[in-house]
A and B are shown apart, each in its own frame.
Chain A
């Protein structure tokens, strides 16, 4: 078992897939000569050359469209957004083109494309560089939405995303790029739509994904000392969604809390809360609760940013209230 960083795991996944399939290419701003704005594509230009590791001008809408067009005729693009914040100028291509191409053509045009890059909030980057957009993309049928929280998951999920014949929104956590974890040396994939119980517990089910897993684990460790046993479900992908994993856990613990980095209104946590009350209502001893980012754009000020983001204290406090 090797210890890799989250970014190294992503890099390994892309390199291995590109070595196997000559139709895969990586395209984005600074992915080649600069070696990746976040160094996820480090070394790939040397290995694969300029024909397959392609630097673009700053034009997200344009190169997202290039990716979609090329996928229509059989290439398997990996389109890197330097950050998901910039994906908003490409959202027309992602939703109006990629997500719908197979459907509106009556199944004639599968869309084997991965859109990936750094997402999430924090790091004092201010309002325009600090936001979690998975709920936006998870809203749209036709897209798959993947949000890995560990190096091991990042590797296995990215490989599955690259092999998938559908457009995948692969949101990496910017603050996790340097985080380390065990990654098996043998090649493996993790199917999209398969969540994982990251921690077993009996008193409450905490549903989360991506960076918020860290807040969840921290809170669970604090609460363990108080005799509270938290079960943590890491969804890993929001579309497809491992619904049964959530319900099975809730049936055991009778309580559920969703923890996410994004905003609360129409956030993905609201969908999960709806699904739990719809499908596991009889098992609930308490309304489903959520811990999210505050309902404000991100402030630059350190204290306000801290206050806005979810954290272990807020998670632990919410759980204590729910168990009273």
Chain B
């Protein structure tokens, strides 16, 4: 493991915060997986485990006025945005206290106040929504930037091309972040992408591009920062491909038999959490302090689990409530 040792106290504390967020995501999802396996969570549950550095690093490059658009694999992005794990876990449990009042579930976390613009379930469909949010920022002459996460599978659907083209011709303040985890459900990238490097598709739209490894969280932040600033200056969108890996299957119902144990083990050696932990130790943080942090996060997750479990289901009167919005 090539390590980048944090050199000053500021970079140590930044990395520590990133580590905290990544552990929070990891433990949140481990708890969710447990709840799923005993039937407390229904539907699909797409875990982010292994990809934490992408969401944490990217979102660290944003300010509160910026917007985030996510996919069906949205838990990590929501937590990295700083959303409270309690309403998120409650949403997974289908409770009325959930972040989307139980109407959304795992794939549809929304928080208007946090500018967390949703987890979206149709692959690639949300790419043009993100462009639309960026369009609105430009229309209203606000300097907010939108970042949009999607997988490499989404890069093959029409929405991707239409969304990028529109964002490019109108120079919209949006950063498209392709989290390439190398499998679109069970289809490996070599069977789906005519050109393996998704980021070069930016050339087709005369768009800035970047391509980074996703196991080093501070590097992700630094690169995304450049794109966010470019967007904020009015210089248009960027397509960033971040190479990453999910340690679990596509969702909890996927045993991931399409890949080898050796491949998985090789990627686990590049676990972004372990890497960050190692770098923190090299930067002078004691193992005991990190262990203590892990324990504190675990108890925060335990509380969220407890909260979700004991929260009431939504009232039955909610069934029809949000089909239509109130009149203007």
Q: Which residues of A contact B (CB under 8 A)?
A: 25, 51, 56-57, 59, 61-75, 89, 92-93, 96-97, 101-112, 141-142, 144, 163-166
Contact = CB atoms under 8 A, between A and B. Distances in A.
Contact of A69 (B100, B111, B121, B128): B128
Contacts of A144: 324
Contacts of A71: 132
Contacts of B162: 59, 61-63, 65
A73 B118 CA distance: 12
B93 interface: no
B103 A62 contact: no
Contact of A108 (B100, B120, B133, B165): B100
A109 B326 CA distance: 11
Contacts of B99: 106
The 3 closest A-B pairs by CB, nearest first: A69-B132, A65-B128, A62-B162
A57 B166 contact: yes
B136 interface: yes
A25 B139 contact: yes
Contact of B135 (A59, A64, A70): A70
Interface in B271-328: 321-328
A98 B294 CA distance: 41
Given A59-B165, A70-B139, A102 B324 contact: yes
Contacts of B111: 108
Given A74-B136, A106-B102, A107-B321, 12 more contacts: A59-B166, A61-B128, A62-B128, A62-B162, A62-B163, A63-B128, A65-B162, A69-B131, A69-B132, A69-B134, A105-B110, A106-B100
Interface in B84-117: 98-104, 108, 110-112, 117
Contact of A164 (B101, B112, B139, B328): B328
B165 A165 contact: no
B166 A108 contact: no
A93 B159 CA distance: 10
A285 B67 CA distance: 60
A102 B166 contact: no
Contact of A61 (B112, B120, B158): B158
A148 to B, nearest CB: 20
A106 B159 contact: no
Contact of A62 (B102, B165, B324): B165
A92 B112 contact: no
B325 A68 contact: no
B80 interface: no
Contact of B101 (A51, A93, A106): A106
Most buried by A among B112, B120, B166, B322: B322
Contacts of B54: none
B133 A72 contact: yes
A141 B328 contact: no
B155 interface: no
A106 to B, nearest CB: 3
B125 interface: yes
Contacts, number: 152
A237 to B, nearest CB: 13
A35 B111 CA distance: 39
Contact of A75 (B117, B125, B139): B139
B185 interface: no
Contacts of B324: 102, 142, 144, 166
Nearest to A101: B118
Contact of B128 (A66, A104, A108): A66
Given A57-B165, A70-B133, A96-B121, A65 B127 contact: yes
B83 interface: no
Contacts of A93: 125, 128-129
A59 B157 CA distance: 13
Contact of A165 (B128, B134, B327): B327
Contacts of A165: 325-328
B129 A62 contact: no
B242 interface: no
A256 B131 CA distance: 48
Given A109-B112, A142-B324, A66 B103 contact: no
B122 interface: yes
Most buried by B among A67, A89, A108: A108
Most buried by B among A25, A65, A69, A163: A69
A74 B133 CA distance: 9
Nearest to A71: B132
A69 B325 contact: no
Most buried by B among A68, A70, A166: A70
A106 B98 contact: yes
Nearest to A63: B166
Nearest to A51: B139
A107 B129 contact: no
Nearest to B127: A65
B102 A73 contact: no
A164 B327 contact: yes
Nearest to B146: A69
Given A65-B127, A66-B128, A104 B100 contact: yes
Nearest to B133: A69
A50 to B, nearest CB: 11
A92 B111 CA distance: 23
B130 interface: yes
Contact of B325 (A70, A73, A75, A110): A110
B328 A72 contact: no
A220 to B, nearest CB: 34
Contacts of A101: 118
Contact of B328 (A25, A56, A112): A112
Interface string B225-257: 000000000000000000000000000000000
A61 B126 CA distance: 11
